[in-house]
Structure 1
Amino acid sequence: MLMSTGQEALWLAHRIDPDSSAYNVILAVRLRDRVDTGVLQRALTALVERHELLRSRFPATDEGPVRLPTAPGSVRLDVREVPGAGDEELFRLARRASEEPFRIMESGAFRAVLLRRAPDDSVLVTATHHLVSDATSQWLLVRDLFAEYGARTGRGSAVAPPGAITSWDEQVRGEREFVASPRGRRAAAYWQEVCAGVRAAELPTDRPRQAQPTLRGATHEVRPDPATAQRLRSAAAGRGLTPFAWLLGTFQAALHRSGAGDGFLVGCPATTRFTPGTREAVGYYVNTLPILGRFTPATTLLEAVESAQRHLRTGMAHARHPVELLDAGSSRGPLFRISCTLVAADRLPVPGLYEGAVRLGGLRAELCDVPQQEGQLDLAVEVLQGADDFRLMLRYNTDLFDAATVERFGDTWHRLLDASLDAPGTPVGDVALVARDDLAFLLALGSGTA
């Protein structure tokens, strides 16, 4: 069975550090009704029968990694009884279950763990390795699992038939045919031009970079207030831009002001679900686009935002070409050290779960927001776009950065975002990064009069 270029890169990352959870993709739900574990197991078997990557393992051979599907019944529900656990302990156990490393060569890249505190109170943790899933896939997985559960208990409707999705082999063959085609060669030339002469964005670190990264990480959240979120939507719409492009442009400006230089690349993971048969499938449908940022002393905040939109739009036109195939050259280092991606939480396959309680397969369910995918890169930003708000999740490598450094960067980004909404024509370099009162205090310290 075939593996995509992106999967092969993720397989290698796992081989280098098999005990890391940096590439674990998680969705955990708190269930407030009695769960029939026998029915849930049958629903799980139906799920992995439909989505073959969830029942695949990835051993090494002399020719490289291969994908070997297993029988649907080989994926078993792991029920762990945790009577008496408090809410904090239950969350800690859910996080621990999500962080357990996968043995992708021996036992695959998917598990489902039910932490049962009481017959009518449990947490279901669904965890995958990134090489079989992405953000959308994890929500599709939960949607389909509970649809199967509800269909078997008479409390929900059946899912779409297996023929509604594209097989993974067909997806990989399509990728390879595109790469070999004239369009694929033009896309490769476009990306080589974008990347020529620039390096990955890189912030000054608190500690030296180790020769072998450990992929340890943490998360810092920046949450603009509702008024800022509304102003952002209105400003972007008024100029024919997307809110994500506006956030990306100001993010690049924050990198520039924080020491990343005048020209650099940021990775923007983008979907490769280009056909109807892929939109309902669980799999690794992602290509990380190199987005160029360039700044001069005269570059304004609005120009940074417009540049981000332009590069995003043109990049999506060439998104079918896997960036892993680009010849980066050994002297320039990795293509990305920093990424920024959009997750449109208000359009995810399980409506309402991001905002609050819903019913899944007849069961009352709430999102259990377990941290995940920390430490993959120096800094990986996830923009969670809700119906009325934005959450900016800054996942960083703790071997490189202290929490205070990332918090300070988050403040810089927020300050540039506010400035871009107040006066978009302001040069990026002219925005004050310290509040006036704080600046007066610092100057007073320097003069000895504080």
Structure 2
Amino acid sequence: MLMSIGQQGLWLAHQLDPESPAYNVVLAVRIRDRVRTDALQEAVTELVARHELLRSRFVAAEGGPVRETDPPEKARLEVREVPGADEAELFRQARQAADKPFRLGDEGAFRTVLLRRAADDAVLVTATHHIVSDATSAWLLVRDLLAGYGRIVAGQPSAAAPATPGWDEQVLAEREFTTSPRGVRAAAYWRHSRAGLVAAALPTDRPRPPRRTLNGATHELALPAGTGRRLTRAAAARGLTPFAWLLGTFQAALRRSGAGDAFLIGCPVTTRFSPGTREAIGYYVNALPIAARFGPGDTLLDAVEGAQRRLREGMAHARYPVELLDGAERRGPLFRISCTLVAADRLPVPGLYEGPVVAGGLRVELCDVPQQEGQLDLTVEVLQSASGFKALMRYNTDLFDEDTMVRLSGTWHRLIEASLDLPDTPTADVPLVGQDDLAALLALGAGPA
């Protein structure tokens, strides 16, 4: 069975470090009701019957990796009894279940673990390898799993018809596009837009290891609610998206933090272009190489408008897997830094991101388990919700200290505020230290008179 270009790259990354959880995609929920484990197991079976990638294994073969599928009944719910566990221990075990490495060739790329502390208190951890899912898929998975559970408990008929189109059809469509006239034009666009640029890289706290590592941690930047409201209004007034505003200021923050005046970062975007794919679990992602080019007098507004323009142009060519571009053209890794947006109000389980909901007859709430840390030098996931904007900055701990991420997030925050106050300020002229902080720093260097 077939694998997409992106899946082949993820398979290779897994071979280089099979013990790393960097590509584990996780969604865990706290359940505040009694759970019938027999019904939940049946719901797992229905789920993998509907979504074939969840019962796929990825096996090394002479000509490269191949995908094989198992019967739905092979997917098992693991139940762990953890009576007496306090909140910290319950969270630790949830993270442990999430971080367990996948054996893609033997066990596949999907697991469900129910950590049951009491009859009416449990955490359901769903984990996939990125090779079979994306951010949307993680939410679709939990939605379908809980909905299936609710139907089974209620004695209603199964809704486990296979999702269409199947994954082979998706891969064939990708291959057809890349060789079509539109695909050739898309490849030419990416070559032109990336000409002379290399992947953005920040100065590291330690020398880069000779072999790529996937060890990571997360630093969080939460914008004040007032800043988020101002940003949304300012973007709308200029016909821009909030993400373009955040992306442009993030590129400016990278520039001010030592990435140089011209570079590329990756922006993962969905490839769910047909109606059927919007309800399917799979790796529906391509990464757009978004260029940043700063001149001496370029303003914050220039950066924001440039980000919007390049995003719009890139989306017109998003079907093309840029991994196909010749390695010699790339002059190094495709990306070292990426930035993407997740809109909470568009997620498949309405309300779950913000607070408790009822799904499948169960009271559930989000259990925010850290994940996907260390994939690149830095991956930034911007979460947009009713409460505002939050950025999860997942960084490689072999390269960066937490203090470096704190400084970078502070620089980004300061540039966001400056872009809202005085958008025509040149990016190079924005002070990165507040007046009170500057006075304190100067006082440190002032000796006795």
Task: Pick closer, same or farther for the CA change 1:77–1:188 going to 2, 3 Å.
Answer: same
2:270 and 2:119 map into 1 onto residues whose CA distance is 39
Does structure 2 retain, via aligned residues, the 8 Å contact 1:207–1:399? yes
Matched, 1:374 2:388: no
Matched, 1:249 2:248: yes
User: CA separation in 2, counterparts of 1:120 and 1:372?
Assistant: 26
Q: Any idea what the Cα deviations from partners look like across 1:79-100, whole Å, max 9, x if unmatched?
A: 1111100011100100011000
Matched-pair contact (CA < 8 Å) for 1:45–1:75 = yes
What is the alpha-carbon distance in structure 2 between the residues aligned to residue 250 and residue 177 of structure 1?
A: 37
Helix, strand or coil: the match of 2:279? coil
**Cα distance between partner residues in 1 of 2:355 and 2:158:** 23
Q: Does the 8 Å CA contact 2:208/2:399 hold for their aligned counterparts?
A: yes
Rounded to whole Å, the distance in 1 between the matches of 2:338 and 2:415 is 18
- Which aligned pairs between 1:33-432 and structure 2 lie closer than 5 A? 33-154=33-154, 162=161, 165-329=164-328, 332-432=331-431
The one-letter code of the counterpart of 1:371 is P
Alpha-carbon distance between aligned partners in 2 of 1:391 and 1:114, rounded to the nearest angstrom: 29
Aligned residue pairs, count: 449
Q: Which runs of 4+ in 1 moved over 6 A?
A: none
**Is 1:147–1:159's contact at 8 Å kept on the other side of the alignment?**
no
For 2:24, the equivalent position in structure 1 comes to 24
For residues 239 and 190 of structure 1, what CA distance do their matches in structure 2 show?
27
Task: Return the letter of the residue paired with 1:91.
Answer: F
Structure 2 match to 1:12: 12
Tell me the SS of whatever aligns to 1:319: coil
**Change in 2 beyond 3 A, CA 1:110/1:338:** same
TM-score (norm 2): 0.98
Give yes or no for contact 2:49–2:160 (8 Å, CA) kept in 1: no
Deviation, structure 1 residue 330: 7.6
**Correspondence list, 1:436-447, <5 A:** 436-447=435-446
Q: CA deviation at 1:162?
A: 2.6
Question: Residues 46 and 158 of structure 2 are in contact (CA less than 8 Å); yes or no, is this contact kept in structure 1?
Answer: no
Distance in 1, Cα, partners of 2:13 & 2:194? 23
CA pair 159-370 structure 1, distance change in 2 beyond 3 A: farther
Give me the whole-angstrom Cα distance separating, in 1, the residues matched to 2:64 and 2:321: 18
**1:53 aligned partner, one-letter code:** L
Aligned-partner Cα distance in 2 for 1:372–1:89: 18
Q: CA deviation at 1:438?
A: 1.2
How much does 1:328 deviate?
A: 3.4
Shift of 1:388: 3.2
Q: Residue by residue, what CA displacement relative to the aligned partner does 1:120-159 show, whole Å, maximum 9, x if unpaired?
A: 110000000000000000000000001110001119x878
Deviation for aligned residue 1:392: 0.6
> 2:158, 2:267 → 1: CA distance?
32
Question: Residues 407 and 270 of structure 1: is their aligned pair in 2 closer, same or farther, counting only changes over 3 Å?
Answer: same
Which residue identity lines up with residue 419 of structure 1 in the other structure?
A
CA RMSD of aligned residues (A): 1.3
For residue 258 of structure 1, report the CA deviation from its aligned partner: 0.3
1:442 Cα deviation from its structure 2 partner: 1.6
> For the residues of structure 1 that align with 2:429 and 2:157, how far apart are their CA atoms?
58
Distance 2:342 2:179 in 1: 31
Segments of structure 2 that go 5 or more residues without pairing to the other structure are: none
Q: 1:210 to 1:83 in 2, by over 3 A?
A: same
Quote the offset at 1:297 in angstroms: 1.6
Normalising by structure 1, report the TM-score.
Answer: 0.98
TM-superposed CA distance for 1:332, in Å, is: 1.7
Query: What is the alpha-carbon distance in structure 2 between the residues aligned to residue 158 and residue 247 of structure 1?
Result: 46
For the residues of structure 1 that align with 2:56 and 2:77, how far apart are their CA atoms? 16
The CA deviation at 1:444 is 2.6
What is the CA distance between 1:164 and its match in structure 2?
A: 5.2
Cα distance in 1, alignment partners of residues 145 and 157 from structure 2? 10
Q: Using a 3 Å threshold, how does the CA distance of structure 1 residues 144 and 158 change in structure 2: closer, same or farther?
A: farther
Q: 1:74 to 1:239 in 2, by over 3 A?
A: same
Task: Report the identity percentage.
Answer: 69
Deviation at 1:163, TM superposition (A): 5.4
Task: Please give the alpha-carbon distance, in whole angstroms, between the structure 2 residues aligned to 1:54 and 1:240.
Answer: 40
1:374 and 1:407 map into 2 onto residues whose CA distance is 16
Shift of 1:211: 1.1
* In 2, Cα distance between equivalents of 1:48 and 1:336: 33
Is the 1:416–1:431 Cα contact (8 Å) retained in structure 2? yes
